[in-house]
Structure 1
Amino acid sequence: MGSRIYRSIETVHRYFKVILRGVLKLYRALIRLRSEDTPPEIRNNRRFYPYFKDCVGAIDGTHVRASVPPEIQGRFRGRKDETTQNVLAAISFDLKFTYVLARWEGSAHDSRLLNDAFARPGGFSIPNEFSDRPPENAQELFNLRHSSLRTTIERGFGVLKKRFRVLDAEPFWSFPTQVKVVLACCVIHNHIMGVEPDDHIMEDVMNQVESSDHQQETQSRRESVEDSRSWNAKRDEICQAMWSDYTRSGE
C-alpha cells in the first residue's frame, strides 16, 4: 500500500489504525440481533416450525490465524500446528453476524468460549449427523433437521474467510489489533450483506459449504456431561414432539 500511494509505512500504519477504530464504532449498530421473533426461514417451513420457533440463529467457533510471542505460543496451538485464535460467533439465517467473541487462544475448548459468551449474549450447539435414508427414530429426525439449520454458521464462516483473505494469512500486527481486525471484518461483512447480499462470493459459498475448518474437538467426558445436561433435556423434549408429529403425518 505504501508503494502504491507513495506514502511511508508509518503513515499507512497510522491511518490503518484510524480506519480500524472508525469501523469498530459501527459494531453495536451492525453486529446485533435484529429481532427476537421467529425467523421466516423457520416460521414458513413445517419441518422446523414449531419445534425450533425459539431459534433465532446458529452458533459455533472457527479458528483464525494468530501471531503471538514465543512464550505463549503453546496456548495458541489448536488442532493444527499453527497458532490461532478461537473465535465464537452467532449468525442469523440471512447470514449476518449477531455476536462475535474473538481473542481466545486456539487451544481453548469451545465450551470455555461458550461459558464466556453466556456471561454476555450466547447460544448453544449440538452435534449432528447426516443420512440418505429416512429417519428411524426421534433422535435421527432431530439431528437431520437440526443439521439443516446449523449449516448456516458454516456458510457464514465460509463467506467471511473468502471475502477477507487476511483472516487466513500470517498476521503481523500486535495481538490486540489482530482481534480488532476479526471484529472489523464481521462488521464490514454485515454491511455488505445489507447492501449487496447476492454478490459472487455469496454465490460461490452457497454452492459449496466450507465446513472443514469447523470440525469440533472431542470433549472430555466431564466437559460433555457438564456442558450438555440441560441442553440434552431441551433437545429430547423437542425431538419427541417432532417425532410424534412426523409419525402421525408421515412427513
Structure 2
Amino acid sequence: MRVAAERFQRSKDTIHRQFKRVLTALCGLSPRIIRPSSRGETPPEILNSPKYYPYFEKCIGAIDGTHVAAWAPAQKQTSYRGRKVLITQNVMCACSFDMMFTFVYTGWEGTANDSRVFTDAVLRPENEFPFPEEGYYYVVDAGYTNMPGFLAPYRGERYHLRDYRGPRRAPRGPIELFNYRHSSLRNIIERCFGVLKARFPILKLMPNYPPRRQRRIPIACCVLHNFIRREARRDRLFEEFQVEDIIVEGEDMATPNLDMSPENIAQMTNIRDKIAQDLWRDFTQGS
C-alpha cells in the first residue's frame, strides 16, 4: 500500500479502498472469464500435434495445485505452513492448452494436500466444477487417482521432465514413454502458474489481509491472467513460458493419493494402458 500510495500520490486509505473495489469487481467477472470454452472437443493444440494426437485426443486440459503466499496470525500459522515451511495457501486450478485458467479453487491452508483440496473442489455442487463430457478427461499428476475424467501417470516410474533430460535418458518402454508424454502435456498447468506468479508479486508476499480477501486475490489474478492472454497474444510473459517442455521450478511436485473404487480405477487404467501401447508401437516403428 505504501508503494502504491507514493507512486500515485494518494493516501494509503484511498489506495486501500480502491484496491478492495477493484478486487470485488474482478472476482465478480470470474464466472464469465474463468470457464472452459468446451468440455467435449479435442483442443487444437493436441489435434495439430503428432506428439499427442491421436493418443490424447480426449484430453481437454490439466489440473494441479500450487502454493501462494498467505498471512496468518501467530496462533494459526501452523496449519498454513506448507511447502518449504512457508505460510501458504493451497490453490487448485484447471487450465486449457491455450494457457487459460478454466477453474480456480482457493482458501485451503498450506498443510492441506492436493488430493484433499481436489475432493472438496469437485464434490461441492456450489463450486460448479467443470467436469468433462463422458470419455474426456484432464491430465493430473501422480498425487491424484487415475479415474474417469482424470488421467494420471504410472506411479513408481520416471515421470517428471527433468528425469528425461540429458544423453541416454530417452524413454525405455511403453510406460516410460507414456509418462514422458503425459508430463509434457501436463506441463501446461505449471507454465500457467509460472506466468501467474511472475506477473503478480502479491502471490509471493501476501500483506496481512483478512482470510476472505486473501482467498479472493488469486481468483482476481487469474481473471487478469485470462484477460491478458485473450487480448494480448504477444505478451512478454506468455511468450517466455510458451516453450512446451520448460521446467518451472517449484511446481513439479507430487502429492498423496486419493482412494477411489476399484471399478473406476480399472476403467481409466485400461485407457492409460492403451495409450501407452499405441505410443510405444508408433515410437518404435518410426525409429
TM-score by length of 2: 0.78
Query: Take 2:247 and 2:21, find their aligned partners in 1: how far apart are those partners?
Result: 33
Query: Take 2:275 and 2:33, find their aligned partners in 1: how far apart are those partners?
Result: 32
Equivalent positions of 1:155-174 (< 5 A) are 155-174=191-210
Q: Are 2:224 and 1:215 aligned? A: no
Question: What's the counterpart of residue 95 of structure 2?
Answer: 91
Q: Are 2:158 and 1:121 aligned? A: no
Q: Are 2:192 and 1:151 aligned? A: no
Taking every aligned residue pair, what percent have the same amino acid on both sides?
Answer: 42
Greater CA drift, 4-13 or 101-110: 4-13
Supply the RMSD in Å over aligned alpha carbons.
Answer: 2.4
Pair 43,2 (structure 1): closer, same or farther in 2 beyond 3 Å: same
Question: What's the counterpart of residue 193 of structure 1?
Answer: 229
Runs of 4+ displaced beyond 6 Å = none
- Of 104, 118, 137, the match for 2:108: 104
Asked whether the equivalents of residues 41 and 93 of structure 1 are also in contact (C-alpha less than 8 Å), the reply is yes
- Of 67, 71, 88, the match for 1:67: 71
Query: Take 2:271 and 2:76, find their aligned partners in 1: how far apart are those partners?
Result: 39
- Of 167, 171, 174, the match for 1:138: 174
Superposed displacement of residue 111, structure 1: 0.7
Asked whether the equivalents of residues 158 and 210 of structure 1 are also in contact (C-alpha less than 8 Å), the reply is no
**Cα displacement string for residues 4-35 of structure 1 (whole angstroms, at most 9, x for unaligned residues):** 44433222212211111111111011101012
Give the counterpart letter for 2:280 in structure 1.
W
Give the counterpart letter for 1:169 in structure 2.
L
- Of 40, 46, 49, the match for 1:42: 46
Aligned residue for 2:59, secondary structure, equals coil
Query: Take 1:73 and 1:109, find their aligned partners in 2: how far apart are those partners?
Result: 16
Superposed displacement of residue 232, structure 1: 4.1
Greater CA drift, 97-106 or 3-12: 3-12
Asked whether the equivalents of residues 65 and 171 of structure 1 are also in contact (C-alpha less than 8 Å), the reply is no
- Of 223, 232, 236, the match for 2:273: 236
Give the counterpart letter for 2:43 in structure 1.
P
Aligned residue for 1:108, secondary structure, equals coil
Query: Take 2:189 and 2:234, find their aligned partners in 1: how far apart are those partners?
Result: 17
**Cα displacement string for residues 83-138 of structure 1 (whole angstroms, at most 9, x for unaligned residues):** 10011111111111111111111111111112122223364513424425443311
Aligned residue for 1:95, secondary structure, equals coil
Q: How many residues align?
A: 247
Superposed displacement of residue 205, structure 1: 3.1
Question: What's the counterpart of residue 11 of structure 1?
Answer: 14
Q: Which runs of 5+ in 2 are unaligned?
A: 124-128, 132-137, 143-158
Question: What's the counterpart of residue 152 of structure 2?
Answer: none
Asked whether the equivalents of residues 229 and 238 of structure 2 are also in contact (C-alpha less than 8 Å), the reply is no
Is the helix fraction higher in 1 or 2? 1
Superposed displacement of residue 224, structure 1: 5.9
Asked whether the equivalents of residues 88 and 114 of structure 1 are also in contact (C-alpha less than 8 Å), the reply is yes
